[in-house]
Amino acid sequence: MIIRRLILAAVLFLVFGFWLLAYFCHGDAGFQAGDHISAFSIKLDITTVGYPAILGVPAVLLGTLLLLVAAITSLVAELRAVLSQKKGTG
């Protein structure tokens, strides 16, 4: 139950953070192609200023941390279930 809540909170923080950073950004994007593979390039120049930058970056970091905690919690729960099944059948 707690794993679902962690994943939900992580997704909400990630979506909110990326939305803030993307919606309020100003910038330019470009793509160049050439005759050799080394001549292909892509350029992204984006800037987010003010409160969206102050709130967006920590929201993305917190969402990433919560997603990592949810993954570790899920792994521990699965390992605990597998180990308890082995002890019960032995």
**Looking at residue 36, what is its pLDDT?**
85
Over the stretch 66-90, which tens digit does the pLDDT of each residue have? 999 999 999 999 999 888 888 766 5
Non-local CB neighbours of 38 within 8 Å, separated by 6+ positions = none
Distance in angstroms (rounded) separating the CA atoms of residues 69 and 67: 5
Q: Report which secondary-structure segment, H or E, holds 36.
A: none
Quick check: 42 and 30 in contact, CB under 8 A? yes
Quick check: 56 and 25 in contact, CB under 8 A? no
Considering the chain, what percentage of its residues have pLDDT values greater than 90? 67
**Cβ neighbours of 41 (radius 10 Å):** 10
Over the stretch 9-53, which tens digit does the pLDDT of each residue have? 999 999 999 999 999 999 998 888 888 888 899 998 989 999 999
